[in-house]
Amino acid sequence: MLRFLILALALAGSLLLNSGYFTNLLVIIGLHTLPAIGLALLMGYTGQISLGHAAFYGLGAYGAAILGRRLGLDPWLDILVASVIVAVIARWIGALVFRLRGHHLAMATLAFGIIVHIGLVELRDLTGGPNGLTGIPPLSIFGHKLTSDFAIFPVVWGACLLMMALAQNLVGSPLGLSMRAIAENERVAASVGTDVAAVKRHIMMLSGFMAALGGGLYAHYIGYLSPGPFDVGFSIRLLLMVAVGGFANIWGVLFGVVFITLIGELLKPLGSYDVIAYGALLIIVIIFFPRGLLEGLGGLLAHLKSPLLRGAK
Amino acid sequence: MVEALQILLSGLVVGSIYGLVGVGFTGIYNVTGIVNFAQGDFAVVGALMTITLNLAGVPLLPAALLAIAITCALAAVVERMAIRPVRQDVIRGIIITIGIGVVIQGVAVIAWGTDAQPMPAFSGERPIEFFGATLLPQSLWVIGTAVALVGGLYVFFQHTYLGKMFRACAMNPFAARLVGMRVATMSAISFMLSGILGAVAGIIIAPIALTQYDSGLQLGIKGFVACIIGGFGNPIGAALGGLLLGILEAFAAGYVSSGYKNAIAFVLLLVFLFFRPGGLLGEMERASS
């Protein structure tokens, strides 16, 4: 709990810097944290790979925008309704794909992600095709429009902190123990009475909801949607964020999102070199730091220190 | 009628392309159990290398051979640096191959830019008439290479000593080591084999399908779908699955809509994963045991 308070205070403090660039960066980090936490619950804690999480993010974004436009729903409501719909979709996708495991599951989720992306491009009447949707209204409170980074900041991070707290409680609950048991060994989990399929479906549902929530907020924050940001590349970047964070570690994943977003910013002037860095980082983290970059580097430091200290004695 | 024949022919050619890419998966999969998500990128590297060497003045055949050797070496490096450290863990291996694919694409953008690169056809551009439909000479190269590689690989896996060692490592690496096989060496050889197969596929299809830095993802996925349809690790299955996929896609593009053509592969993939995950012929190990 203390950590959440410190984080909230630090975030509030960051607003005092009054730096537009910094606040914008933090909003982007917040928007990416939501799907990343969802993916961490699924991949890290429950051990089920997904290469299609950008699809849930995209469905949340497009869903919110289309619901707002077609049914005239209020932005707050359309984000919520779209997220619930995506959660239901995720549950059914889960019921289908979790009959598979290993590389079959990886490919099935990748295929799901690509099918959704093709749908976003091809369903021109609904999604505007490659040109996308423009003029999505911003969120507003009592007629006050939340267009600036400073105004949207508390909303995004409020949602983030809420979902992080929810995830943290979940993994500490009996259900969280079942999730970890499934990740370790499905047969053992089933033998002690865990309904493995149901747990996976529920986590998929929650994971989809978090991703869609991020997507919906993104749509109303940016005000413009095109299929580009919701492609396989984003799914892989989410995977990278979760990997850097150490998979089964909520706070680690937050670090992963910050780290990857900052790297992306640093490498922006170099053009397309950022992609190479992402790929190389993914390989390095998976080989050398399977428990995440933070913990891995910490372990490395301790390892380096101990012989030095022993030498001093 | 002529129209249907034309569609069937182009479906056969595209299907052979998918089959060619698909058989590339079999080498690595049959030894390590890892699905190489960078397989399509190996094909792209082979094709782009050949084009560059050819433009630099090297004749086509030596350029192609050199490119195949380079891709083979690249695959060996990948195996040694990235796959060997996580041998026990298939999911980590898969994520690493995803990372490798991303790196290869990133390097390819810088080296070759984002434009599609054309390669001259091997034996001219004059179309061949066939019962009113037409066929490019390069298509015959594609089909011929597919048939030769698939047949060769089947004989390799079923009837040669090395091929049987490959399969033994996939079935039970522990037992394979127990009877004296060097699983690490086999893994390295399997990556080199898949690198060669990928490069050959990429080079043969380059004159038909323009190659650009990110063609690898699509190619790789189509090849994977071909493998799933036919039975993973089984070269004949991969070819059969590729043909089926290519023909279905061609008819869908011809009679329904070309925009949804790509979705067909994924719908087929999901259908097979859910209802017949072993594919039409079953995985090689199950089929042969």
What integer pLDDT is reported at residue B286 of this predicted model?
A: 43
Distance of alpha carbon B74 from alpha carbon B192, whole angstroms: 8
Handedness of CA A90, A91, A92, A93 (dihedral sign): positive
The pLDDT tens digits for A181-208 are 999 899 999 999 899 999 999 999 999 9
ipTM surpasses cut 0.90: no
Of all residues in chain B, the percent with pLDDT exceeding 90 is 22
Helices and strands (H, E) in chain B, number of each type: 12, 2
Distance of alpha carbon B221 from alpha carbon A145, whole angstroms: 44
| B129, β-bridge pairs | B134
- How many angstroms separate the CA of residue A111 from the nearest CA in chain B? 6
Question: Any idea which residue has 């434009």 for tokens?
Answer: B115
What integer pLDDT is reported at residue A217 of this predicted model?
A: 95
What integer pLDDT is reported at residue A46 of this predicted model?
A: 93
> Can you tell me whether residue B119 is helix, strand or coil?
coil
The pLDDT tens digits for A279-310 are 999 999 989 888 888 888 888 888 777 766 55
> Can you tell me whether residue B168 is helix, strand or coil?
helix
What integer pLDDT is reported at residue A156 of this predicted model?
A: 93
Evaluate if residue A312 carries a pLDDT over 70.
Answer: no
Evaluate if residue A30 carries a pLDDT over 90.
Answer: yes
Determine the distance from the C-alpha atom of residue B41 to the mean position of all C-alpha atoms in its chain, rounded to a whole number. 10
What integer pLDDT is reported at residue B287 of this predicted model?
A: 38
Task: Give chain B positions within 8 Å (CB) of A99.
Answer: 274
| A225, β-bridge pairs | A133
Nearest chain B residue to A47 by CA: give it.
B91
> B235: closest CA among B20, B8, B88?
B20
Cα angle value A60/A62/A66 (rounded, 5°) = 115
Which residues have CB under 8 Å from B37's CB, separation 6+?
Answer: A106, B94, B97, B98, B100, B101, B220
Nearest chain B residue to A104 by CA: give it.
B273
C-beta of residue A93 within 8 angstroms of C-beta of residue A112: yes
Task: Give chain A positions within 8 Å (CB) of B259.
Answer: 118, 121-122
Evaluate if residue A211 carries a pLDDT over 60.
Answer: yes
- The answer to whether B256 contacts chain A (CB < 8 Å) is no
- HEC readout, A86-110: HHHHHHHHHHHHCCCCHHHHHHHHH
Evaluate if residue A135 carries a pLDDT over 70.
Answer: yes
- The predicted model scores a pTM of 0.87
Q: Hey, are the CB atoms on B273 and A49 less than 8 Å from each other?
A: no
Nearest chain B residue to A99 by CA: give it.
B274
Distance of alpha carbon B68 from alpha carbon B78, whole angstroms: 15
C-beta of residue A109 within 8 angstroms of C-beta of residue A50: yes
What integer pLDDT is reported at residue B283 of this predicted model?
A: 64
Evaluate if residue A311 carries a pLDDT over 60.
Answer: no
Distance of alpha carbon B41 from alpha carbon A245, whole angstroms: 27
C-beta of residue B268 within 8 angstroms of C-beta of residue B248: yes
What integer pLDDT is reported at residue A299 of this predicted model?
A: 82
Which residues have CB under 8 Å from A8's CB, separation 6+?
Answer: A157, A161
C-beta of residue A229 within 8 angstroms of C-beta of residue A35: no
Going by DSSP bridges, is the β-strand pair A144-145/B128-130 parallel, antiparallel, or unpaired?
unpaired
Which of A100, A104, A283 shows the shortest C-beta gap to B100? A283
Question: Burial letters for B90-124: b for 16+ Cβ neighbours within 10 Å, e otherwise?
Answer: bbbbbbbbbbbbbbbbbbbbeebeeeebebebbee
First to last CA, chain B: 43
Give the containing element (helix H, strand E) for B133. Answer: strand B133-135
**Is the pLDDT higher at A222 or at A2?**
A222
Mutate: best of A116, A234, A275, A288, partner B, most B CBs <10 A:
A275
What integer pLDDT is reported at residue A257 of this predicted model?
A: 95
Which of A51, A102, A281 shows the shortest C-beta gap to B90? A102
Domain parsing of chain A, residue ranges:
2-312
- The answer to whether B80 contacts chain A (CB < 8 Å) is no
- How many angstroms separate the CA of residue B42 from the nearest CA in chain A? 15
What integer pLDDT is reported at residue A309 of this predicted model?
A: 58
C-beta of residue A231 within 8 angstroms of C-beta of residue A21: no
Radius of gyration of chain A (CA): 20
Distance of alpha carbon A183 from alpha carbon A166, whole angstroms: 20
> A95: closest CA among A203, A188, A248?
A203
Which residues of chain B are under the pLDDT cut of 70?
A: 88, 259, 283-289
Which of B95, B259, B267 shows the shortest C-beta gap to A282? B95
Evaluate if residue A56 carries a pLDDT over 90.
Answer: yes
- The answer to whether B268 contacts chain A (CB < 8 Å) is no
Type of residue numbered B139: S
- How many angstroms separate the CA of residue B44 from the nearest CA in chain A? 16
Q: How confident is the model at residue A239 (pLDDT cuts 50, 70, 90)?
A: very high
Q: Hey, are the CB atoms on B102 and A236 less than 8 Å from each other?
A: yes
**Does CATH number 2.40.10 belong to domain B2-288?**
no
Q: What is the dotted CATH code of the domain comprising A2-312?
A: 1.10.3470
